[in-house]
Structure formats: structure tokens, C-alpha cells
A and B are shown apart, each in its own frame.
Chain A
Amino acid sequence: MSTIAKDEAAVVIIGSGAGGGTMAFELTKAGVPCVVLEAGPFLKPADYENDEWGAFGQMAWLDTRTTSGSWRVAKDFSGLPAWLVKAVGGTTTHWAGATPRFLDYEFKARSTYGDIEGATLLDWPLTLEEMEPFYARAEDAIGSTHTNGRAPLPANNNYKVFANGAERVGYSRYATGPYGTNAEPYDGRPGSIQDGFNFQGDKHTSKWSTAVREIPRALETGLCDLRPESHAVKITHDASGKVDAVLYIDKDGNLHRQAAKAVCVAGNSIETARLLLLSDSNRFPTGLANGSDQVGRNYMRHLTGSMYAWFEKPVNFYRGETMAGIIKDEVGNDPSRGFVGGYYMETLALGPAFLAAFVDPGMWGPDFTNIMDHYENMAGMWIVGEDMPQATNRITLSDTATDQWGLPAPNVHFDDHPNDVAMREYAYEKAEALYKSVGAIGTHRTPPYPSTHNLGTCRMSERPEDGVVNRWGQAHEVPNLFISDGSVMTTGAAANPTLTIVALAIRQAEALSGMLSRGEI
């Protein structure tokens, strides 16, 4: 750990999750000193709790947020649009671990799907071919199973039901990964002990997170000044329009200024967009880098839904790695199914506390207790698919609600696109068929949870008027401002986003350190 003076213009990284944590490690490894501003505390694996509500209270981002739109989350969890982590490591502390790559066609959504009414589809300004070497490096960083010779995780109980069902309904592309948790010791961290606690942070450290890999290694370089409980609230710029400092608030409410020669924003799609909107100025009256009016728009959250099914005999699905099961057969673009794009099916388990809260929010009575009574005999899966970007799905600053600092809270507006609804219905039917094929005596369609995949609010575009950043994640309007998280995703693909966020950050860090060494920034 080093200390960088506040008046020394440094590379300032905002956020320490998949994007920010990776940037911090890759840049310091390349010899670039960095200040990392993290809004949350530095929780260590020993601090994590094997308790769903306990862990939620410990690490969830619970700052004031509001919601609007017709999505069900706005009704059931009006103040909790997203389930993210406020701690060093960000949401990599909470992530489950599925690491599929995006597919070639998913970088070309507009060309592949055509003009979909109401959707603001674009092709990415980069291709899978360009991304492949960075995907390989990201998989090595994360230690993704099933890739580069790494061992697969064994089948747990939930997977046994899932995979047998997959086989019986005619799917073939199922496996226990790729998955970002060690099956065997790798990279200095141990193999999984299958403790079933994953969303709560992995005390055993078998699961990759930037809190156990990138941040400690960045600190070891001696070039990283990590400042936990430091909440960035404004990015300022000089007369030429280049960013020159970040203002942030410490845990006691004191305001600080860190001079910057470049700023990398990785606050997750809600806070990243909010910070740019809060950083308005005479030159950027609608928010920093927002001349295109695209900051905050095209918010995507993935088409999600879950299916819980119960059987005559015990499953004990809570034992073992939560999401170490994936079916890839429904990925691909086949409009004859009634929608464009595709989806993955992935194993999922919750404890009784969270199952009760999320299986069907608001539900009660004998139908509800019947579900809970089958807990021991239950299997579960998550459906994660590509949702359509829409200009009106959007992060804005609230006119009325404020956060703990008195600053405008973000409002998250979301309406499902008809394509999202059609895909979800289709996927529910397929999931039911899968579980019935192995003897399910009951099933329940669980609606989307508060979003864990938050994407697209500062999207990458070839043309400045279509997005916020270019193919390097560099703001079209501000050459030393970079967006380093899932906000840059032009479209969301079907894949869980963490691997792609890490791959993009490795690529961006390489580009940025090159620009710095050539004196371009």
C-alpha cells in the first residue's frame, strides 16, 4: 500500500469490483500508480457471514434508490432495484461464478436481430475475435473451471437433477461450468469445500473475487492507494474539458479532492451513470460526457426468472456450489421461438430465508407454505438471457429522494420489452418440462430478483451520438475519462457479465497504460 498525495494527479479508479479491481491490478502491475476510491468498507473473508440476511445487511448496497416502470421489482422492492455489494471487491464478493463468454453474434446484435421495434440495438464496436485473447486472460485470472486445462467441479445434488432433466428433454450442452470457483487449488487459493455460501462471500476463498485476488496484489505492488469508505460524488474538469479531479466523501461525511490525470469509473451501471449525471458543469450541462444524452439510457438487467421444482425424494440443493451447472442449448438466435437472442439455464439454490423472500414476493397462504414445506426436496435454476436495450430504460437523478449525503438518489426506470416477456415465458415452459422429465411433483415460476446484472448505461458505440464511450471504454467527449464496468456494454448478450467485464478491463488497462506511456493523456 502506498500513499498518493491528494494534489498529485494520479490515475483514479472509482470502484473496486470486477472492473475497478481488475484495472487497479493491471495498471499497478504495469507500473502505473493508482488511487482506488471504494464507497464500502474492506471486508475480509473472515468477516463474511454464513447467514443470508446477516450477509445482506453486512454488504448489500442499501443507499437510497427509487424505482419506476412496469417491472415487478418496482412493486415488490421499490427501494432495492439492484442487489449489489458495497465493499472492497464490489459485487464480485456476491457473484455466483458462472463465466460463459459472449458469443460472436452477441457482439453484432443489431446486424443479427435486425430492427426490433422499441429496442435501441447496436453492434459493438469490437468483435469476439478481438476479445478472445482477453477472455483467455480473464479466465486465467478468475480460474474458470473447464477452461485452459482447469478441472471441472463435481456434480452436486442440484446439478444431478438439472443435468438429468437436461438429458431427458434432449439438451446436450450441459456441464458444471465454466465457473469461477476452484475445483482444485489454483493461484494460491484452495479448492471448494462445497459449503453452499456464495452470494454471502466465500470464507474459504475458493471463489474468485477482486477482494481476494486483484486488490491484495495491487496493494503488494506498492503502487496502489486504496481508500475504502470513500464515496465519489463528483468528477471535475479543467478549461480544456479534460477531467482533473475526483471529489469524494469519507465515512464521516468530510469532502476530499483527489487530483487526477485520468479517471476510470467502475461503480456498476447505476452508480456510474449517476456519478456522471452528478458531474454536470457549464461545459457539460446535462452531465459529464453526456452530449449524446445517452448517459443512463439503455439500462439492461438481463432477462431473468427462476424455476423451483420439488420431488418425491430429497435433493438438499443448498449444499455445494450454488451455480455450478449450466445449460447452453437455448443460447443462439432462433426467431422461430418467438423472440430474438437466447438464454442460459443455470443451477441456483437459496436458503429458506431468501427463498421465502424471493420465491414470489407478496405471496402467502397455503400455496406459499406448500412451496416452503418441500424445501428439502427442491431443485432450482436461474434463467438468464439477453434483454433488449431501450432508450427509456434509464437511470436518472431523483427530483425528490436523496442519499445519506443529501445528494439526489438514482431512480431506476425499467419496462420489459415484448421480446423479454416472450423469452421469459418460453424459458419457464422449458424449465418446467425439464424438471417434470425427472419427476417434479410441483414447480413454481419465480419472477426476477432485484438486478445483479446491471448493464449498458454508458454504452460503447462506434459513433459518438449513439453512446458514451468508444471501443476502449474512453468517453467520446472526454479523452482522459474511462468507464471500466458493465455500463459500457452495447448490448447485454445472454452470458453472465463478470467474465466480460474483467476481459474488457484487462484490455482497457493495457490501452490506458500505453496511452499514458506515450504521453497521449
Chain B
Amino acid sequence: MILSRRFVLRGTACAAALGLASADRLALAGIKIEVDAESKALLLRMIRVAFPHAQFPDAPYERTADAAREGAKASPAKSLMFAEGMHDLAEAGFAEMDDAAALAHLKSIEGTAFFQHVRGTVIVTLYNDPEVWALLGYEGASFDKGGYIDRGFNDLDWLPEPRITEL
């Protein structure tokens, strides 16, 4: 029925043709559009399961989740897609799944617009977060600090010093 629900949301004509409209409208009766503690926790969990970094605190994940919600406001259609995706996640019992089951569930929905919206947001947000840069060992802007000429551009010491010109 998940497939048919997508038809409903993407075009009532399709759904009507399939004779599925009334049943799916009932299933969607509980769809939420407001953001509450429960939906925040759900999205945070989704992002953590999809992009697990044991050493990252919640803060950068929360900023990423905020960006995903914000990005979903780009159009009414996107808002609807996002609300439906969150609804499906809750319906599937995602909050109660263990990590392995949660990962498997995400794998099963990776082709959806909802998952791709969240994934794309993570790529351009979580890894563009200065707190994450520091956790990964990246130092960010360097020109204003004089570059790395005196700050370790050549400090690797676990291999021999190589030649720099051809023989």
C-alpha cells in the first residue's frame, strides 16, 4: 500500500484510476505538518542512522535536521513530500527499531524523494559544519592564518623524506 499512497500524493487522477483513493486517505489521516519533540527526535535518529559518526555530538546533527526541515519549505509540494516521509517513518515504527533494523528500513526507502532530500541536505550541511570539520581534523580557512607554511604542511614524519625533482 505504500506504493499506492505515493500515487495518491502525486496525483489524485492516478489514485482514482487505481480505485485506491479512499483507503489511502484514511491511512494518511494522522499526517502531521507541525514540528514537535517527537518529529524532531525521529528526524535526528534518521540522520544519525544514515550517517553514523560515533564521535559527533548531537548539535551538528540537529543543525542538519533543521536545514532539512527548512529546505522542505522550498515549495508546497516539497512540504507535502516531507510531511509524508516523516509520517511514513513514524508509521513504520522507526523510533523503536534497533540500529540494524533502522538501517535496513532506510535502505528500503532510499529511492524516495524524502530520503534523497534528507541525504542531500546532510551532504551539504553536516560536512560543511565547522564543528564537524574540527572533529574530522580539518582546520578550515587558512589564508588569514598565514597558510600552513609554518603550520605543518610537511609535518608527516612516518615516511622517509622523498625527493621532489625527477632524477
Where the two chains meet, the residues of A that have a C-beta atom closer than 8 Å to any C-beta of B are 50-53, 146, 152-157, 159-161, 163-164, 167, 172-176, 192-197, 203-204, 313-316, 318-320, 328, 351-353, 355-357, 362, 364-366, 368-369, 372-373, 375-376, 438
Cβ contacts under 8 Å, A50 to chain B: 140-144
Question: 28 pairs across A/B with beta carbons < 8 Å?
Answer: A53-B128, A146-B165, A153-B164, A157-B153, A160-B161, A161-B159, A164-B159, A172-B167, A173-B166, A174-B162, A194-B148, A196-B142, A196-B148, A196-B153, A351-B140, A352-B127, A352-B128, A352-B133, A352-B136, A355-B127, A356-B127, A364-B51, A365-B50, A365-B51, A365-B106, A365-B107, A375-B137, A376-B138
B76 within 8 A of A: no
Whether the Cβ atoms of B137 and A156 lie closer than 8 Å is no
Across the interface, do B53 and A154 meet the contact criterion of CB distance under 8 Å?
no
B164 touches A157 (CB 8 A): no
**Is there contact, CB below 8 Å, between A157 and B155?**
yes
B166, A164: Cβ atoms closer than 8 Å: no
Known A156-B153, A204-B143, A372-B53; judge A319-B162 contact (CB<8 A). no
B138, B155, B161: the one contacting A318 at CB < 8 Å is B138
CB of B86 within 8 Å of the partner chain: no
Complex formed: what's the CA distance from A59 to B154 in Å? 30
Q: Is the CB of B163 within 8 A of A163?
A: yes
Residues of B within 8 A of A364 (CB): 50-51, 110, 119, 122
**Distance between Cα atoms of A337 and B113 in the complex (Å):** 43
Which residues of B come within 8 Å of A, CB atoms? 50-53, 55, 103, 106-107, 110, 119, 122-124, 126-128, 132-133, 136-144, 146-149, 151-156, 158-167
B162 near A163 with CB under 8 A, answer yes
Within 8 Å CB of A146, what residues of B?
Answer: 165-166
CA distance A146 to B138 in the complex (A): 30
Q: Is the contact region of chain B dominated by helix, strand, or loop, or is it mixed? A: loop
Q: Are B51 and A194 in contact (CB under 8 A)?
A: no
| Cross-chain contact of B136 among A163, A315, A366, A376 (Cβ < 8 A) | A376
Chain A residue contacts of B149, Cβ below 8 A:
192-194
B162 touching A372, Cβ below 8 Å: no
Name B51's closest neighbour in chain A (CB-CB).
A369
Secondary structure dominating the interface of A: loop
What's the minimum C-beta distance from A136 to chain B, rounded to whole angstroms?
18
- A164 to B: closest C-beta gap in Å: 5
- In the complex, the chain A residue whose C-beta lies closest to that of B156 is A157
Q: Which residue of A lies closest to B119 (CB)?
A: A364
Task: Let me know if B52 and A160 touch, CB within 8 A.
Answer: no
- Whether A353 lies near B128 (C-beta < 8 A) is yes
On whether the beta carbons of A368 and B51 are closer than 8 Å, the reply is: yes
| Residue from the list B137, B151, B165, B167 in contact with A376, Cβ < 8 A | B137
Chain A min CB distance to B151 (Å): 7
The 7 closest A-B pairs by CB, nearest first: A376-B137, A193-B147, A195-B147, A163-B162, A50-B141, A356-B127, A320-B153
The answer, among B103, B123, B139, for a CB contact under 8 Å with A357, is: B123
Q: Would you call B158 and A313 a contact (CB within 8 A)?
A: yes
Q: How far is the CB of A494 from chain B (nearest CB, A)?
A: 17
Q: Are B142 and A195 in contact (CB under 8 A)?
A: yes
Q: Which residues of A contact B146 (CB under 8 A)?
A: 193, 195
Whole-angstrom CA separation of A157 from B162 in the bound complex = 11
A173 to B103, CA, bound (A): 46
Least CB distance from A450 to B in Å reads: 15
Select the residue from A51, A152, A356 with max chain B CB neighbours within 10 A. Answer: A356
A-side contacts of B162, CB under 8 Å: 155, 159-160, 163-164, 167, 174
- Other than the given A156-B153, A352-B136, 15 more pairs (CB < 8 A) read A155-B154, A160-B154, A160-B156, A161-B156, A164-B159, A195-B142, A195-B146, A203-B143, A314-B137, A319-B152, A356-B123, A357-B123, A364-B119, A369-B53, A373-B55
For residue B167, which residue of chain A has the nearest CB? A172
In whole angstroms, how far apart are the Cα atoms of A424 and B143 in the complex?
Answer: 35
CB distance from B121 to the nearest CB of A (A): 12
CB of B54 to closest CB in A, whole Å: 8
Residues of B within 8 A of A318 (CB): 138-139
Q: Specify which chain B residues have a CB less than 8 angstroms from the CB of A376 in the assembled complex.
A: 136-138
Query: With the chains together, A48 CA to B128 CA distance in Å?
Result: 18
| A176 B124 Cβ-Cβ under 8 A | no
Q: Is the CB of B147 within 8 A of A156?
A: no
Inter-chain contacts of B159 with A (CB < 8 A)? 160-161, 164, 438
Given contacts A316-B137, A366-B52, A375-B138, contact A154 B166 (CB under 8 A): no
Q: Closest B-chain residue to A320, C-beta based?
A: B153
| Contact partner, A373, options B133, B136, B167, Cβ 8 Å | B136
Q: Who on chain B is nearest to A350 by CB?
A: B138
Contacting pair A319 B148 (CB below 8 A) = yes
Q: Among B53, B107, B153, which residue has its beta carbon within 8 angstroms of that of A194?
A: B153
Q: Across the interface, name the chain A residue whose C-beta is closest to B155.
A: A157
Check if B154 sits within 8 Å of A154, measured CB to CB.
yes
Shortest Cβ gap from A103 to chain B (Å): 15
A152/B164 in contact, CB under 8 A: yes
Q: With A197-B142, A375-B138 in contact, is A314–B123 under 8 Å at CB?
A: no
Please report the C-alpha to C-alpha distance between residue A375 and residue B134 in the assembled complex, in whole angstroms. Answer: 11
Chain B residues closer than 8 Å to A164, beta-carbon distance:
159-160, 162
A27 to B27, CA, bound (A): 72
Return chain A residues, CB-CB under 8 Å to B136. Answer: 352, 372-373, 375-376
A362, B119: Cα distance in complex, Å: 8
B91 to chain A, nearest CB (A): 22
Residue with the highest number of chain B CB atoms closer than 10 Å, among A154, A167, A352, A369: A352
- Indicate whether A314 sits within 8 Å of B156 (C-beta atoms), given known contacts A176-B164, A353-B124: yes
Task: Please give, as numbers and ranges, the residues of chain B lying within 8 Å of A372 by CB-CB distance.
Answer: 53, 127, 136
A343 to B101, CA, bound (A): 44
A357 neighbours in B (Cβ, 8 Å): 123-124, 127
